[in-house]
Structure 1
Amino acid sequence: MKLSKSSIVIIVALGIFLIYMFGQSESSLEIVDFS
Protein backbone atom coordinates (compact mmCIF):
# COMPACT_ATOMS: atom_id res chain seq x y z
CA MET A 1 0.00 0.00 0.00
CA LYS A 2 1.55 3.25 -1.16
CA LEU A 3 0.61 6.38 0.74
CA SER A 4 0.82 9.81 -0.81
CA LYS A 5 2.77 12.57 0.93
CA SER A 6 -0.41 14.37 1.96
CA SER A 7 -1.83 11.18 3.47
CA ILE A 8 1.31 10.69 5.56
CA VAL A 9 1.10 14.29 6.80
CA ILE A 10 -2.56 13.83 7.76
CA ILE A 11 -1.84 10.55 9.60
CA VAL A 12 1.05 12.09 11.53
CA ALA A 13 -1.05 15.15 12.42
CA LEU A 14 -3.90 12.93 13.64
CA GLY A 15 -1.49 10.85 15.70
CA ILE A 16 -0.02 13.92 17.40
CA PHE A 17 -3.53 15.30 17.96
CA LEU A 18 -4.73 12.06 19.56
CA ILE A 19 -1.66 11.84 21.81
CA TYR A 20 -2.23 15.46 22.85
CA MET A 21 -5.94 14.90 23.52
CA PHE A 22 -5.38 11.72 25.57
CA GLY A 23 -2.62 13.48 27.51
CA GLN A 24 -4.94 16.37 28.34
CA SER A 25 -7.94 14.16 29.13
CA GLU A 26 -6.33 12.20 31.98
CA SER A 27 -8.20 14.34 34.51
CA SER A 28 -11.35 14.75 32.39
CA LEU A 29 -12.15 11.29 31.06
CA GLU A 30 -15.87 11.83 31.69
CA ILE A 31 -15.83 14.62 29.09
CA VAL A 32 -14.20 12.50 26.37
CA ASP A 33 -16.58 9.59 25.82
CA PHE A 34 -16.45 7.74 22.49
CA SER A 35 -18.82 4.94 23.49
Structure 2
Amino acid sequence: MADDGVAEVYQEDVPESAEATAVEAQEGCPVSVITVD
Protein backbone atom coordinates (compact mmCIF):
# COMPACT_ATOMS: atom_id res chain seq x y z
CA MET A 1 0.00 0.00 0.00
CA ALA A 2 1.37 3.39 -0.94
CA ASP A 3 1.27 6.41 1.36
CA ASP A 4 -1.90 7.62 -0.37
CA GLY A 5 -3.73 4.37 0.41
CA VAL A 6 -3.60 3.07 -3.16
CA ALA A 7 -2.08 -0.32 -3.88
CA GLU A 8 0.92 -0.33 -6.23
CA VAL A 9 2.67 -3.30 -7.78
CA TYR A 10 5.75 -3.09 -9.96
CA GLN A 11 7.05 -6.13 -11.79
CA GLU A 12 10.22 -5.58 -13.77
CA ASP A 13 9.83 -8.54 -16.11
CA VAL A 14 6.70 -10.52 -16.88
CA PRO A 15 7.60 -14.18 -17.30
CA GLU A 16 7.13 -15.32 -20.89
CA SER A 17 4.58 -17.88 -19.72
CA ALA A 18 2.40 -15.08 -18.26
CA GLU A 19 2.80 -12.46 -20.99
CA ALA A 20 -0.47 -13.25 -22.80
CA THR A 21 -2.38 -13.08 -19.51
CA ALA A 22 -0.74 -9.76 -18.61
CA VAL A 23 -1.67 -8.26 -21.99
CA GLU A 24 -5.24 -9.52 -21.58
CA ALA A 25 -5.42 -7.85 -18.15
CA GLN A 26 -4.07 -4.62 -19.65
CA GLU A 27 -6.67 -4.66 -22.42
CA GLY A 28 -9.51 -5.38 -19.98
CA CYS A 29 -8.55 -2.78 -17.39
CA PRO A 30 -11.35 -0.18 -17.36
CA VAL A 31 -9.14 2.62 -16.02
CA SER A 32 -5.94 1.86 -17.96
CA VAL A 33 -3.69 1.45 -14.93
CA ILE A 34 -2.08 -1.79 -16.12
CA THR A 35 0.75 -1.38 -18.60
CA VAL A 36 2.73 -4.13 -20.26
CA ASP A 37 5.75 -2.95 -22.24
Calculate the TM-score normalised by the size of structure 1: 0.36
Please state which structure has a larger fraction of its residues in helix: 1
* Bigger RCO (CA 8 Å, 6+ sep): 2
Calculate the TM-score normalised by the size of structure 2: 0.35
